[in-house]
Amino acid sequence: MLRFSLVFVLALLSAILLKAQEFSGGFRAGLNFTTFNGPLDRNADGTELEVFEYSNGFHVGAMGTLQFTDIFGLRAELLYSQKGGVYNYNGNSYWIFTPTNGSESFVSTGNRELSLEVTNSYIDIPVMGVARFNKFEISAGMSLGFLVASRASGETRFAGASSQGDPIVPFLLVLDYNYFDEPFRQGENTAVFRRDIDNQPVEIPQTLGAYYQEAESDENLYKTLDLGLVGGVSYYINRGLFLGLRLNYGISDITNASRDISWQMLNDTNEFVTRDDNDRNLNIQVSVGFSL
């Protein structure tokens, strides 16, 4: 589908370039209100354990319009755009403890509360057909995004009991994620919680990196490419200055299945359960711009 979309866009651009009578440039910048859209994990009672909320970002970049009638044209843009959202998990979960004496890791069950604000930075290239009627302009098309940075921050709290019935005193950890650069199972600093659980000494870093307790993989959590549909409306205050509102709806899965794990449970051999969900970006843009 991605290959077909790229071929279609290139063919459309070539056709319009042959007929274009006028070219104009410009720029736009503004705020993003962005979240994730996808299936949510549920417990045995059907209660949703996950919630996606909106977070804020920004976009800025240049645009060029090929006008081939008084009304209709083709526009391409090159934008730096922040997407992402706030991910929350609250419910039954697990924690894998690794003893400092070299013994095998063991699993405790309990309740996890997790809140994580994700900021994914893309270079977006939307290509749209535009139609202008007096002071109003409508646009629709497709956008291809290239992920250039991926970070997140938040906190997680866990409390429960070990397999032998020892209570796990609640602990609260800071999450500081860099999905691109962090190695597997890394704690971010030397400050740790020290506990004795099931007569085993364990240490838990107070600040966790992105892949501290996730499946081992060579892939990042978020994929490099993001394909979406875009549509919007703009109001021109004068000939060049405009205010715009746009929806960018992702149609491609942005997460790699090998990294997309369930926080609810492990499998029968205490290995991570991966979720091949279709997670998509949903982005609302409010812009101010100028067309030369």
Q: pTM for the complete prediction?
A: 0.88
Which range among 93-107, 122-136, 221-235 shows the weakest confidence by mean pLDDT? 93-107
Residues 292, 286: Cα–Cα separation, whole Å: 20
Note the pLDDT tens digit of each residue in 128-187: 999 999 999 999 999 999 999 999 999 999 999 988 888 999 999 999 999 987 665 555
Q: Is 134 exposed, middle or buried (0-12, 13-18, 19+ CB in 10 A)?
A: exposed
Note the pLDDT tens digit of each residue in 213-231: 777 778 899 999 999 999 9
How far is the CA of 212 from the CAs of 20, 102, 187, 188, in angstroms?
54, 18, 7, 9
